[in-house]
Amino acid sequence: MVVSDMDGTLLNDLGVVTSRTAAALKRADAAGARVVIATGRPVWWLGPVIDAGFDGIAVCMNGAIVYDIAAQEVLSASLLTADVAQEFVADLTRLEPRFALAVERAGTQLASCFAEESYDHPWADGVFQRVPRAELLAEPVAKLLVRGTEGSADLAAHARAAAGDRVAVTYSTDDGLVEIAAPGVNKGTALDRLAQGWGIDPAHVIAFGDMPNDLEMLSWAGHGVAMGNGHTEVHAVADEVIGLHHHDAVAEVLERWF
């Protein structure tokens, strides 16, 4: 089983899969390996791997959604309930009063900013719909997004203090964005369920990643590979640290076997 994150890992600095990397993935698939994309992105932002010819299984939203690209079908969904999301947001507000919120659902994306009136929200017009807080948190979500005015690591620490064991907290960028899911939801747990269904032992899995939302995945895989451009926490858990995402580093590793 071959698993790869997208941003900062499989995609180059232009946000595309190079022909060399696409060829390496195709050779792995042709040799009988199960090739899986595991990303924090929602289903509707899988374009770069689809454009590169990938039509297999994608673990999306950090494990909350497992999606079959060829069938255009959600295979499983692990959702954060509305009441828990509401409680978490209320508790986080007491620790970190200035932040913007958005949610991702499996097919719909809603967003709104619940900070000071002067706070400049980061959600792009035309991508996120604006709705009141009550509507934003009224239904179960695949992923709750929190963006603050500080770095992601600091905001994540506040989020974990507010969360306890009610939600899973991670981040995939250092620009102040933190990602919240149902407890126990991460790339590693979603991939483990897939591997069990396919009869694959984790020892026979190679996984590539670069950010803290890849930690569980790399720890679970028999061979966890961190990108040279990756986070220091990811380097610490990886079995191997390789080159940079924009230098076809994933392809260089896969070419050892395929």
Q: How far is CA 111 from CA 22, 91, 108, 134, 213, in A?
A: 33, 19, 10, 11, 22
DSSP 8-state secondary structure symbol assigned to residue 8: I
pLDDT at 148: 86
Average pLDDT, the chain: 91
Please give the structure tokens belonging to residue 199.
């009869």
Q: What is the pLDDT of residues 221-255, one digit of tens each?
A: 999 999 999 999 999 999 999 999 999 999 999 99
- Order of all β-strands in the sheet with 2-4: 73-77, 65-68, 57-60, 35-38, 2-4, 206-209, 223-226, 240-241
Q: What is the pLDDT of residues 16-63, one digit of tens each?
A: 999 999 999 999 999 999 999 999 998 989 999 999 999 999 999 999
Three-state SS letters, 76-106: EECCECHHHHHHHHHHHHHHCCCEEEEEECC
Mean pLDDT within 158-182: 94
Q: What is the pLDDT of residues 70-121, one digit of tens each?
A: 999 999 999 999 999 999 999 998 888 788 888 888 765 555 433 333 345 5
Mean pLDDT within 172-184: 94
Which one-letter amino acid corresponds to residue 194? L
Please give the structure tokens belonging to residue 45.
């932002």
Partners of 80 in the beta sheet? Answer: 141
- What is the spatial distance between Cα 81 and Cα 119, in angstroms, rounded to a whole number? 27
pTM of the model: 0.93
